[in-house]
C-alpha cells in the first residue's frame, strides 16, 4: 500500500496491518460509493484476476439487482454518519455463489464529518448453508413426525376396537377382562401421544383451524375438574377453584381452550406431590380473562425456564416416567393460546417452590392483524 494510503487508513481508524492480512473483503469507498481501495483479502474473496479490477467502480452496481437498493441505502446512511449491517447475496467475479455479512461504517474526516466509508464484508456462505440445512432437517423431522402420528391413528383405533370386541366376546373370563382393560389403557396413552404429535405439527404449519364460538370460560374449568378427577383423586390432590360470580363469556375455540386448561392442570398435578392443593382462578375485565394455575409442587428450575414452552423440552425426569409425556404439552398450550391472541407465562421461585402459570386471553376474538406476532417456539 502506498504511504499516503496508509496514513489515510490510519486517519480513518483502519489498522493497515489488519487491512493487509484480513481474509475479509475490506473496502474503502468514496462518499459517492465508488471503490477507492480493496484489501488483498478482498481480491481473493471476490476471485478477481487483477487487484485493481474494481477500482473506481460504483460499489452498489456490483451487486445483483435484487440487492442494489439495500446496498445503495447503506452507502447513503454511511454518508449520514450511520453504521449499517446486513446479510446479502453476491456471486464472485468467477460467479461462485456467496453470502456476505456486510458492515458499512462511516470514516471520520478532517474537513468533513465523514470522509469515506469502510466496508467489511465477511463470507458467511458456509454459515448460511448450514442454517438452511438445519431448517430443512428440522422441517423433515416435523414432516416425519406428522406422517408417523397420522399413520399410527388407524392401527390404534383398530386395536381399541379389537380390545372392546374381545371384552364383549369373553369379558366373563377374568384374564380377558384384565388384558382388554390393559390394551385399552395403553392404546389410550398412545393415542394421546400421537394426537399431541399431530397437534404440534399442525400448529407449526399453521394448520390448526379454530372453531370460534361464544362460551363461558368457567364451564371449561368445570369440564377439566370433571375430566381430571380420577388423576387428582389418585394423588389425593385438591383442586381449589375461584371463579367470578358472573359468566366469563369469551370468543374462542371452546375445545382447544379447555385442552389448554387440562394440560396446565394436568401438569400441576403431575409435578406436585400427593395431597397437595392446586389453585385455579379466573379473573376478568372487559378486555381480557386471566387464568391462573398455581401448584405447590416441584417448581421449575431456572435453566428450564427459557425453554419451558419449547417442543420436547422437559425438566428432570419424574420418578414415574409413565405419568409424564414427551414434552409437547406446553408447546401446544402456547401455540393454542397465541392463536387466540393471548399470552402465557410461567413463574416459579425454583425447586420445590411450586409453579404458577398465567394465561391471558382477549375476550373478543382478535383478527389476524390485531394479534401480537406469535413467537417462534414452534418454528
Ligand atoms: N406445573 C409444573 N410444575 C413443575 N414443572 C412443570 C410444570 N409444568 C411443566 N413443568 C415442566 O415442564 C416440562 C414440559 O412440560 P410439558 O410441555 O407439559 O411436557 P411433559 O409434561 O410432557 O413433560 C415438564 O417436563 C416439567 O419438567
Ligand atoms: Mg405436560
Angle at which helix 329-339 crosses helix 254-270, to 10 degrees, equals: 150
The closest-lying atom of ligand 1 relative to the alpha carbon of residue 331 is 17
**Is residue 25 scored above 90 in pLDDT?**
yes
Provide the residues around ligand 2 (an ion) whose CB is within 5 A. Answer: 267, 325, 329
The 3 state secondary structure assigned to 274-294 is: CCCEEEEEEEECCCEEEEEEE
**Is residue 325 scored above 70 in pLDDT?**
yes
Cα dihedral 164, 165, 168, 172 sign: negative
**Is residue 316 scored above 90 in pLDDT?**
no
Which set of grid coordinates corresponds to residue 187? 392404546
Give me the mean pLDDT over the 12-16 stretch.
74
Which set of grid coordinates corresponds to residue 222? 368445570
Give me the mean pLDDT over the 157-179 stretch.
89
| Measured CA angle at 282 (ends 266, 201), to 5 deg | 45
The closest-lying atom of ligand 1 relative to the alpha carbon of residue 313 is 14
Q: What is the pLDDT of residue 376?
A: 42
Q: What is the mean pLDDT of the chain?
A: 90
**Is residue 222 scored above 60 in pLDDT?**
yes
Q: What is the pLDDT of residue 368?
A: 61
- The burial of 276, by beta-carbon neighbours within 10 Å (0-12 exposed, 13-18 middle, 19 or more buried), is given as middle
CA of residue 338 to ligand 1 center, whole Å? 19
Which set of grid coordinates corresponds to residue 83? 453504521
CA of residue 313 to ligand 1 center, whole Å? 8
Q: What is the pLDDT of residue 320?
A: 56
pTM greater than the 0.85 cutoff: no
CA of residue 267 to ligand 1 center, whole Å? 6
The closest-lying atom of ligand 1 relative to the alpha carbon of residue 327 is 19
Instruction: Give the least confident one: 23-32, 44-53, 200-209.
Output: 200-209
CA of residue 357 to ligand 2 center, whole Å? 13
Nearest to 20 by CA among 4, 47, 1: 1
Give me the mean pLDDT over the 21-27 stretch.
95
75, 34 Cβ separation under 8 angstroms: no
Greatest mean pLDDT range, 81-90, 105-114, 324-333: 81-90
Q: Show the ligand 1 pocket: residues with CB < 6 angstroms.
A: 267-268, 271, 295, 297-300, 308, 313-315, 324-331, 355
Give me the mean pLDDT over the 226-239 stretch.
96
Give me the mean pLDDT over the 282-307 stretch.
95
User: For atom 23 of ligand 1, which residue has the closest CA?
Assistant: 327
16, 6 Cβ separation under 8 angstroms: yes
Give me the mean pLDDT over the 24-34 stretch.
95
- Please name the residue ranges forming H helices in 271-343: 329-339
**Is residue 370 scored above 70 in pLDDT?**
no
User: For atom 9 of ligand 1, which residue has the closest CA?
Assistant: 267
CA of residue 135 to ligand 2 center, whole Å? 26
Ligand positioned closest to the Cα atom of 269: 1
**Is residue 12 scored above 60 in pLDDT?**
no
**Is residue 327 scored above 60 in pLDDT?**
yes
315, 326, 377: residue to mutate for ligand 1 pocket, most atoms within 8 A of CB: 315
pLDDT tier at 309 (50, 70, 90 boundaries)? very high
Residue with cell 483502519: 14
Give me the mean pLDDT over the 175-187 stretch.
90
| Measured CA angle at 122 (ends 116, 127), to 5 deg | 155
Amino acid at each position: 500500500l502506498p504511504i499516503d494510503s496508509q496514513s489515510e487508513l490510519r486517519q480513518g481508524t483502519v489498522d493497515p496491518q489488519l487491512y493487509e492480512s484480513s481474509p475479509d473483503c475490506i473496502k474503502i469507498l468514496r462518499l459517492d460509493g465508488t471503490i477507492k481501495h480493496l484489501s488483498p483479502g478482498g481480491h481473493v474473496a471476490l476471485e478477481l484476476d487483477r487487484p485493481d479490477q474494481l477500482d473506481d467502480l460504483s460499489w452498489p452496481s456490483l451487486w445483483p439487482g435484487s440487492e442494489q437498493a439495500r446496498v445503495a441505502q447503506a452507502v447513503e446512511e454511511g454518508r449520514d454518519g450511520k453504521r449499517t449491517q446486513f446479510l446479502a447475496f453476491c456471486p464472485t467475479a468467477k460467479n461462485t455463489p456467496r453470502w456476505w455479512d456486510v458492515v458499512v461504517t462511516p470514516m471520520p474526516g478532517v474537513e468533513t464529518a465523514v470522509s469515506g466509508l469502510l466496508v467489511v464484508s465477511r463470507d458467511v456462505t458456509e454459515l448460511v448453508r448450514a442454517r438452511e440445512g438445519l431448517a430443512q432437517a428440522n422441517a423433515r423431522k416435523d414432516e416425519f413426525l406428522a406422517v408417523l402420528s397420522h399413520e399410527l391413528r388407524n392401527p390404534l383405533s383398530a386395536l381399541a376396537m379389537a380390545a372392546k370386541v374381545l371384552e364383549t366376546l369373553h369379558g366373563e373370563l377374568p384374564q380377558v377382562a384384565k388384558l382388554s382393560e390393559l390394551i385399552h389403557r395403553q392404546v389410550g396413552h398412545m393415542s394421546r401421544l400421537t394426537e399431541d404429535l399431530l397437534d404440534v405439527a399442525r400448529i407449526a404449519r399453521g394448520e390448526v383451524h379454530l372453531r370460534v364460538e361464544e362460551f363461558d370460560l368457567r364451564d371449561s374449568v368445570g369440564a377439566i375438574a370433571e375430566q381430571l378427577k380420577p388423576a387428582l383423586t389418585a394423588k389425593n390432590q385438591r383442586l381449589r377453584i375461584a371463579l367470578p360470580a358472573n359468566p366469563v363469556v369469551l370468543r374462542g375455540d371452546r375445545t382447544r381452550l379447555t385442552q389448554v386448561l387440562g394440560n396446565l392442570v394436568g401438569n400441576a398435578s403431575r409435578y406436585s406431590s400427593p395431597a397437595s392443593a392446586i389453585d385455579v382462578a379466573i379473573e376478568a375485565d372487559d378486555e381480557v380473562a386471566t387464568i391462573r394455575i398455581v401448584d405447590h409442587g416441584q417448581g421449575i428450575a431456572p435453566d428450564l425456564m427459557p425453554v419451558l414452552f419449547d417442543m420436547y423440552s422437559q425438566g428432570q425426569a419424574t420418578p414415574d416416567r409413565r405419568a409424564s409425556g414427551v414434552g409437547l404439552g406446553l408447546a401446544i398450550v402456547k401455540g393454542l393460546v397465541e392463536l387466540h391472541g393471548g399470552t402465557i407465562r410461567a413463574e416459579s421461585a425454583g425447586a420445590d417452590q411450586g409453579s404458577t402459570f398465567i394465561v391471558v386471553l382477549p375476550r373478543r376474538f382478535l383478527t389476524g392483524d390485531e394479534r401480537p406476532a406469535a413467537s417462534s417456539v414452534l418454528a
